[in-house]
Amino acid sequence: MINLGITISGTYETVWSGDPALDSEAEGFERKLEQARDGAIKWGELCKPDHQPSVFVMRNLPGHVFRRMVRDLDGSSMAAQSDAAIIFRWAIDSIRDTSNHTYPGVADKDTGWTVADPKVVDMLDAYDRRIVNELGWLAYTRSVTPPKS
C-alpha cells in the first residue's frame, strides 16, 4: 500500500482501466468497469484469474475544496494533462497495491485540505502517464455530476 498520510471520510475506490490485472479483452469490459466504479460489482469480476489491480482510494471533494482547486486549473486543451494531475493530487487518498511507499501530503494554505505530494504523480507517470489523466478527470466528473440514484 502507498500511504499518502491523508485520511478523510467520503472516499470511493477506483482502478485505472489499463491496469494489467484487468481482463480488458473480456466481453462487456467497459460496462463492467463503469458498474464497478459505481460500486455495483466487485473489482475482482474484472480481473484476470489470480490477479489483483491497484486500487485507488479517492476522496469526494467538498464544494469549498473543489472551488479552491478549480482556481489552479488552466482550462485550455493544451493544459489538460496538467489539470488532470492537479485534480488527482487534490482527490487521491491512498493507493492499495504491493508497494510500501509513503508520501506525506501537503496542507493547502487556503482550505487546510491535504494535497498529495507531486512525487506521487511522478511515480505513476513513470509507469504510465494515462493513469493520472484518467483518474484525475474521473475525480473531476464525480465532483461536478450529481450522484446516480
pLDDT tens sequence across 6-15: 444 488 899 9
What is the percent of the chain where pLDDT is above 90?
Answer: 42
Residue 132 covered by a domain: yes
Q: Which three cell numbers stand for residue 74?
A: 488552466
Q: Over the chain, what is the mean pLDDT?
A: 83
Q: How far is CA 129 from the centre of its chain?
A: 13
**Domain match, 75 and 103 both:** yes
Number of domains, the chain: 2
**Domain match, 67 and 40 both:** no
The number of C-alpha atoms within 13 Å of 89 and in the hemisphere containing its C-beta is 28
**Domain match, 6 and 25 both:** no
Q: Which three cell numbers stand for residue 37?
A: 466504479
**Domain match, 62 and 44 both:** no
Q: Distance between CA atoms of 143 and 90, rounded to whole angstroms?
A: 11
**Domain match, 91 and 122 both:** yes
Per-residue pLDDT reduced to its tens digit, 96-115:
886 767 777 888 887 888 88
Closest by Cα among 66, 49, 55 to 115: 66
pTM for this one? 0.82
